[in-house]
Structure 1
Amino acid sequence: MHNNDLSKLLYNKVIKPLSTTFQELDYYIKQKLKRIDFEKLIKDFSYLKAFLDSLDDAFIKFKKIIIELGYPPNHDYPIGLVLSIIEAYEDTGLEELKVKVDQMMLDYYDDKEIEEMLMQWESRAVLQNRLPIIRNAIKAHKQQMYFASIPTLLPQLEGLIADCFQHKGSMNSAKMKKYLECFLKEKVTPDSYTFKDILYDYYIQTILVKFEHGKDITSDISRHAILHGGDLNYGKQINSLKLILLFDFFTECLCDWDSIIKKASKKEHIGDIQ
């Protein structure tokens, strides 16, 4: 598992629980006269390594499961939910699993959790000009108006790309893919497959999937099928939630990229893509 995927989880689930150990260590160093209990420290960090190894295995499984079930990746899936989904995956058939996981997701991401997510979005620089639209989309979701929340959020994804990359003119799929590659493709070791890599594939295969009127619709949140009026059945709670989870991680990744580029020469970098 790529280190970026564990950063937030490590802080909340590992660093905080070990704070007592670090406080003890700091106390020993300041006193200088007391003997440091290295045996205890070694034991604690051996536990940390074992814990990280177990998380690594769990998230490898989880990555495969969310791809199979059609969910977007996200750094903020709680570890309890992750482990519950893995357990259900090992004990349940695929169709029954989809129903079970959908309910797990809807139970966890209730109105309170969605509102907290919106509060995080309020502070993201790339979203400032679009906050009135985004607030309305979340309001529609909370009021169970999914036919309104989904088509409100969908075009904001392309709009954010255009903003951050200073795009001018029409946006074809080839150009969109180049932009997505810039801030999502990790370009690390061939055997690694990070959440950003998964998001890239998810966006291409689920959001930008090809659509033609009169033919089968292959994605529940296909941008083209929904915004071109071909899909009449997209207005479901789980579809709206999937798009919100996608939007959350998508904008997080875009903020990371935008921050890095601003420290360099953003104009020159974007010029290489145009």
Structure 2
Amino acid sequence: MNGNDMDRLEKHFKQWKKISERLHVQLGPVMEAQKVIEETWRPTLEFQKVLKTQLRPFLEQQRKLQKVLEGINIPSYQIPDLSPFTKQIQQYQNSLSGIITPAFEELQHSFRELPPKIQEALLLLAQHGWYLDFNMPLPSLWDIKEAMSSGEIDEVEEALVEYFESQLDEIENSFSAQFPHRSHIIASAFKAHRNGEYFLSIPVLLAQTDGICKEVVDQYLFMKKDKKPRTAIYVEQIAADTYKAALLSPLAASAPIGASEHEREEGFNLLNRHMVLHGESLDYGSKVNSLKAISLVNYVSQALEKDAGYP
């Protein structure tokens, strides 16, 4: 993402802030006035409702009489309009619409530009072995993306290590709540991580990642089809939902964690599922790699949360 992209995103956030402030200023008096009117006329409207109920039998008899005495003019009775301020209430509603509609049009325009930016940021993270925690504030994602693009990889990695280490309890609890039948396995993996036994935690975390994908969308992350993870099949099915597809884009693109033997260049030394589980890598057991595996299993459990509205 270049400087212009970041400027546009910054502009979007400033626009949202201005819209929020404007809505607060403009809607406040309108909502208060409408509330006063509704409170003032509530007894009258309630009386009108009661009157209508009481007159219903009489009006029904009138209709029957009109059918029997065709040709005879029977006076028609109507319930009086006891809401003289109906027009005023309507004016306030129109005023609300005039404020809210343009504001939401601006928001919709901004959100239309978000998916490609989100996808670009998430894919860059994945290329370095890290995955999004959906509890991170969105601006943090832009900060990470900008720093990585500027070559500040070590600084970003240090920040991510600190972040995920601070979120261990939250991530474990959230995972166990979502997949209680896997909680005993994930608990063992997290215990191994906290004890510094990273050679034990990482394989378990990677295995659970694949297991969740198979369980929820019936596709494996670490199996390929047309050089893409098989989970790409699921992501392509929801492509019309551009925001959700952007959030799931790491499940549809090749990344070092799932790189095959032919995709790994000479000197490849990143965390790789095949190399770990097939005993090819003998030095994968580091705290950083364990936290990367935690970020991955956490991302997958959030992104593929059962019955989720998106992620």
Which residue of structure 2 aligns with residue 100 of structure 1? Answer: 155
2:231 pairs with 166, 173, 180, which one?
A: 180
Provide the identity percentage: 21
2:125 pairs with 36, 51, 66, which one?
A: 66
Q: Select between 223-232 and 67-76 the one with higher mean Cα deviation.
A: 67-76
Distance 1:70 1:248 in 2: 13
Which residue of structure 2 aligns with residue 265 of structure 1? Answer: none
Instruction: Check 1:21–1:186 CA distance in 2 against 1; reply closer, same or farther (3 A cut).
Output: farther
Distance 1:248 1:77 in 2: 12
Helix, strand or coil at the partner of 1:235: coil
1:145 pairs with 192, 197, 202, which one?
A: 197
Helix, strand or coil at the partner of 1:120: helix
Gaps of 5+ in 2: 1-12, 38-87
Deviation string 1:109-147 (CA, Å, 9 cap, x unpaired) is 223x121112211221xx222111101212222333222
Instruction: Check 1:116–1:180 CA distance in 2 against 1; reply closer, same or farther (3 A cut).
Output: same
Distance 1:130 1:23 in 2: 48
Distance 1:165 1:48 in 2: 31
Q: Select between 232-241 and 219-228 the one with higher mean Cα deviation.
A: 219-228
Report how far residue 103 of structure 1 moved. 0.8
Matches within 5 A, 1:93-242: 94=151, 97-111=152-166, 113-124=167-178, 127-164=179-216, 180-188=231-239, 194-202=246-254, 205-211=255-261, 216=266, 218=268, 220-242=270-292
**Aligned letter for 1:123?**
A
Instruction: Check 1:186–1:69 CA distance in 2 against 1; reply closer, same or farther (3 A cut).
Output: farther
The Cα RMSD (Å) is 4.3
Q: Count matched residues.
A: 230
Report how far residue 28 of structure 1 moved. 4.6
Matches within 5 A, 1:78-97: 78-89=137-148, 92=150, 94=151, 97=152
**Aligned letter for 1:105?**
L
Which residue of structure 1 aligns with residue 64 of structure 2? Answer: none
Distance 1:159 1:103 in 2: 29
Q: Could you say which structure has the greater relative contact order, defined with CA pairs below 8 angstroms and 6 or more residues apart?
A: 1
Distance 1:143 1:243 in 2: 16
TM-score when scaled to structure 2?
0.57
Distance 2:268 2:159 in 1: 24
Deviation string 1:18-60 (CA, Å, 9 cap, x unpaired) is 7957984654544456755777657865774686578567535
**Aligned letter for 2:212?**
L
Distance 1:210 1:153 in 2: 19
Instruction: Check 1:22–1:239 CA distance in 2 against 1; reply closer, same or farther (3 A cut).
Output: farther
